[in-house]
């Protein structure tokens, strides 16, 4: 397994996709944090309480970049036909999927740490420059840990999605449409939004949220953080198992 893990890490590093996705993730993290910093400065100057929790967890939405990175994990191999020599080297497909999950988990950890550092640096510099006091209470440390876990899990989620769909274009389109459109529709459609808490986007929101739901209707509810984490892990495992099972039943070449 160690050899397989090293091989998968080498595959990721052998192209420039990972560095460009890292640059995208850092850029998005910085932009989200700037937006939250502007709100924080406005609240402080108007005598309102500054929402430090939302400020320091603003990079949560960067899980999109982590999911896309995971989607590319297997779909790239199917697209460029490198999956055949990969399976000749590692015939056990479950072992291959496990090695890829470990490798992309490692890269997701690195991505998340870099994004959190960029987010914190942006927030601290912005607030210091505008004379807004820094405060790391109100559950901020726990929120940062939740952001980290969410981003790592979505890297695994993306890998499972890629294993399930296999076609790179279809997997990319579905992931983008889901996050940019379907996720918000499910949260906004009456009757349907009552079950939004059980889908990946709703579970991520419930896990990271600090008791508030911004921009959603009053009858939209979330599970508590522990339950939301369980739902998110369930989706990751489900997609990996389904993707691996279907891949085991289909011919590669």
Residue 69 CA neighbour count, 13 Å, CB half: 38
Q: What is the pLDDT of residues 95-143, one digit of tens each?
A: 888 888 888 889 899 999 999 999 999 999 999 999 999 988 878 999 9
Q: Which residue has the higher pLDDT, 170 or 79?
A: 170
Q: What is the pLDDT of residue 172?
A: 85
Contacts (Cβ under 8 Å, ≥6 apart) of 65: 21, 24, 25, 28, 111
Residue 24 CA neighbour count, 13 Å, CB half: 15
Total domains, the chain? 1
Q: What is the pLDDT of residues 170-214, one digit of tens each?
A: 888 888 888 778 877 777 777 777 778 888 888 888 899 865 555
- CB count in 10 Å sphere of residue 180: 10
Distance between CA atoms of residues 90 and 170, nearest Å: 26
Confidence check: pLDDT of 250 > 70 = no
Cα distances (angstroms) measured from residue 134 to each of 44, 52, 106, 128, 131: 11, 8, 31, 8, 9
Judge contact between 165 and 174, C-beta under 8 A. Answer: yes
The angle at the Cα of 42, spanning 203 to 118, to the nearest 5 degrees, equals 55
Nearest partner of 238 among 151, 159, 152, 146, judged by Cα: 159
- Diameter of the chain by CA atoms? 65
Q: What is the residue range of 140's domain? A: 2-249
Contacts (Cβ under 8 Å, ≥6 apart) of 4: 90, 95, 96, 99
CA quadruple 23, 168, 98, 182: dihedral positive or negative? positive
- What percent of the chain has pLDDT above 70? 92
Helix (H) or strand (E) holding 58: none
pLDDT-derived band at 251 (thresholds 50, 70, 90) equals low
What is the full DSSP assignment across 114-152?
A: HHHHHHHHHHHHHHHHTTPPP---TTHHHHHHHHHHHHH
């Amino acid at each position: 397994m160690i050899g397989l893990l090293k091989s998968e890490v080498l595959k990721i590093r052998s192209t420039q996709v990972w560095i460009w996705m890292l640059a995208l993730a850092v850029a998005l993290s910085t932009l989200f944090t700037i937006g939250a910093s502007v709100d924080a400065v406005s609240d402080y100057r108007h005598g309102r309480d500054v929402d430090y929790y939302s400020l320091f967890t603003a990079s949560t939405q960067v899980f999109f970049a982590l999911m896309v990175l995971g989607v590319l994990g297997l779909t790239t191999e199917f697209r460029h036909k490198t999956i055949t020599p990969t399976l000749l080297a590692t015939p056990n497909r479950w072992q291959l999927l496990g090695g890829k999950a470990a490798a992309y988990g490692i890269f997701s950890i690195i991505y998340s740490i870099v994004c959190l550092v960029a987010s914190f640096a942006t927030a601290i510099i912005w607030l210091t420059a505008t004379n807004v006091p820094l405060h790391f209470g109100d559950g901020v440390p726990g929120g940062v840990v939740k952001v980290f876990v969410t981003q790592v899990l979505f890297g695994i989620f993306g890998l499972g999605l890629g294993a399930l769909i296999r076609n790179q274009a279809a997997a990319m389109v579905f992931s983008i449409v889901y996050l940019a459109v379907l996720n918000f529709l499910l949260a906004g459609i009456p009757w349907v939004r009552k079950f939004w808490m059980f889908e990946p986007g709703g579970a991520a929101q419930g896990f990271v949220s600090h008791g508030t739901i911004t921009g959603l209707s009053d009858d939209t509810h979330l599970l508590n953080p522990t339950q939301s984490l369980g739902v998110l892990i369930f989706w990751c495992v489900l997609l990996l198992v389904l993707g691996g099972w279907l891949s085991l039943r289909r011919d590669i070449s």
